[in-house]
Amino acid sequence: MENNYWGLKNSAGEVILKPTYNKIGEFYDGLASVEIGDYKTPLKYGLIDITGKIVAPPIYDDRLFFRDGLARVCIRNKQNERKYGFIDRKGKVIIPIQYRFAAEFSNGYTSVCMISKYGFIDKTGKVIIPLVYNYVGAFSDGFFSVHGFKNDKWGYLDIKANVVIPMKYDEANEFSEGLAVVGIGNDQSGIKYGLIDKTGKIIIPIIYDFASRFIQGRTQVNLKDKIIYLDKLGQKIN
């Protein structure tokens, strides 16, 4: 660091990148996020490799992190609205910077929003789940959780956008070990939780004040002041 700017040295202590950036993040798989800007100009972010070569120019409005081989990027337009897209490890824009919102990729898919409706795309930018839903959850165990555009409920779709579990829940979480936590109710009456399997069959009754996702063959459920651990058959675990 020199005059509050960051650069790079090699293992021999030789300068390979003069102090240029406000900050250089940690290197992961040969790439690091860099930051430029000051109190007079907006902060901008890009990517460099271990030689200091610019891979993605510092023109983006969020730090860059890679997930599933792609990094989400953000640019503010003239109306100061954020638009999101994705670049590859060479800095090439793979998915156009056009979305109002985009989550990080996970298991080959990510949720995106155009105007006010959500759906899912794959790593080529192909729309897998149409952008017609009020909200969406994450992709897990082959299912997408979505909040219906025809009613105010959650359900699940498969990878072909078929409804596999009807939209009848007030909450619908990710599947884990073949089961998902769902909820029925509202803030006024209170929400009760249980777990369903991938056919929609209720495995753990929807009667609990809290239910955790299945991890290592069990879930924690709360009923009033009691904490109970259940297995996949709904049997208590001592």
- What does 104-117 look like in DSSP terms, one character per residue? --BTTEEEEEETTE
Model pLDDT, residue 149: 77
- Chain-centroid distance of CA 60 in Å reads 19
Is 39 inside a domain boundary?
yes
Task: Please report the DSSP string for 199-232 in residue order.
Answer: TS-EEEEEEESEEPPPBTTBEEEEETTEEEEE-T
Is 117 inside a domain boundary?
no
**Cα distance between residue 106 and residue 124, in whole Å:** 14
Please compute, for residue 168, the number of CA atoms within 13 A of its CA located in the half-sphere on the CB side.
9
**Cα distance between residue 135 and residue 117, in whole Å:** 7
Is 221 inside a domain boundary?
no
Please provide the size of the chain in residues. Answer: 238
pTM: 0.85
Residue-number span of the structural domain to which 45 is assigned = 1-64
Taking residues 102-111, report their average pLDDT: 93
Place of tokens 């995106």: 112
User: Which of the four pLDDT bands, split at 50, 70 and 90, describes residue 132?
Assistant: very high
Is 27 inside a domain boundary?
yes
CA neighbor of 70 nearest in space, from 114, 34, 106, 43: 106
**Cα distance between residue 221 and residue 154, in whole Å:** 21
| Number of compact structural domains in the chain | 1
Is 34 inside a domain boundary?
yes
Going edge to edge, which strands form the sheet with 179-186?
171-176, 179-186, 190-197, 202-208
**Cα distance between residue 168 and residue 133, in whole Å:** 14
**Cα distance between residue 108 and residue 62, in whole Å:** 22
Model pLDDT, residue 1: 65
User: Which of the four pLDDT bands, split at 50, 70 and 90, describes residue 29?
Assistant: confident
User: Which of the four pLDDT bands, split at 50, 70 and 90, describes residue 207?
Assistant: very high
Is 21 inside a domain boundary?
yes
